[in-house]
Amino acid sequence: MRIYRVKNYDAMSRQAANIISAQIILKPDSVLGLATGSTPIGAYRQLIDRYRMGDLDFSGIRSVNLDEYLGLSADDPRSYACFMRKNLFDAINIKPENTFIPDGCATDPTEECARYNQLIRALGGIDLQLLGIGNNGHIGFNEPGDCFAKETHPVRLTENTIAANARFFSSVEEVPKYAISTGIKNIMQAKRILLIASGTAKAEALFSTICGPITPAVPASILQLHENVTIVADEAALALVPDQTEEPL
C-alpha cells in the first residue's frame, strides 16, 4: 500500500489526476472504474483541464461506475449518471457508448446486477479503480456488515450514508434508501486501486482502513490485501495515521 500525504483537497485532487492521467497515457484503451460524491470532483476538474490543453485523449477509454441509486433514472439530476455527465463526461471526448453505470430503474435489480457483472468481465476487468471512502468505511455502497459482498448487488443504505448524502438532495427524506453497487470482489479484481480522501470526517475511517484489522465492519479494510493500492489523502484525513507516506509525484 502506497500512501501520499498531501496538504489539502486541491493537492489531493492534483495528485489523483496525475495518477489517472498516467494510466490514460500509458494505456489509452484503459477501463477506468469511477466514483461519485464530492471527493473526486476536484480530480475530475483537473482531468478536464488537461483534456482541454490537449494533454489527454479519452476517445479510447471505457468507464464503469461503482454504483447508482435505485429508483432514479439516468435523466434525474440527482442520479449518478447525471453527476458523471455534469462533472466529467460532457466536458471530455469519451464516447457515451463507452460509459457504463448501473440502471437505477431496472425492473429486476438482481438481473441488472448480473448484467453489470458480465459487462465488467466482457470489458476485460478494471485497469484502475478510483474510490472514495465513506465516514463509516464504505467503498462504493458496500456498507459495514457481517460479511463482504462479492459482486454487484442491491443494497439498503445505512442511516449514516443517507445522512451523508442528504446534501445532494432537498431533504434527507428524498435520499433513496436503496442502491445498486459493485461488490468487494469487483473492486479487488481491479489491477490498480486509487483511494482518495479529504477532511477530518474521514480520519477515523481511514485509520481503520490502513491500521485496523481486516473486517467487513470496515469494508475498505479489505484493501490491505490488494497488491497495488495507492492512497492519496490530505493531512486532515490522515491525522490519525502514523507517517508512512511518500512524497507526491
H helical segments located in 101-176: 109-122, 159-165
Predicted confidence band at 180 (pLDDT cuts at 50, 70, 90)? Answer: very high
pLDDT at 246: 57
pLDDT higher than 80, residue 49: yes
138-154 confidence digits (pLDDT tens): 999 999 989 998 899 99
Judge whether residue 183 has pLDDT over 60: yes
Question: In this structure, what CATH number is given to the domain that contains residue 139?
Answer: 3.40.50.1360
CB 34 within 8 A of CB 126: no
Residue 244: inside a domain, yes or no?
Answer: no
Position 242 in a domain? no
**Strand ranges inside the chain, DSSP E:** 2-6, 31-34, 62-65, 67-69, 99-100, 128-131, 153-156, 178-181, 192-197, 229-234
For residues 188-202, give the mean pLDDT: 98
- As for how many domains the chain has, the answer is 1
Give the range of the structural domain holding residue 112, as residue numbers without chain letter. 2-234
Question: Which residue, 69, 99, 97, 65, is CA-closest to 187?
Answer: 65
Residue 17 is assigned to a structural domain of this protein: yes
Average pLDDT score over residue span 195-199: 98
Q: Is residue 241 part of a domain?
A: no
24 assigned to some structural domain: yes
Residue 249, domain member (yes or no): no
Q: What are the catalytic residues?
A: 67, 136, 138, 143
pTM, 2 dp: 0.93
Q: Is 240 within a domain?
A: no
What mean pLDDT value characterizes the chain? Answer: 94
Asked if 13 contacts 43 with a C-beta cutoff of 8 angstroms, the reply is: yes
Provide the pLDDT confidence category of residue 182 given band limits of 50, 70 and 90: very high
Let me know if residue 202 belongs to a domain.
Answer: yes
User: pLDDT band at 174, cuts 50/70/90?
Assistant: confident
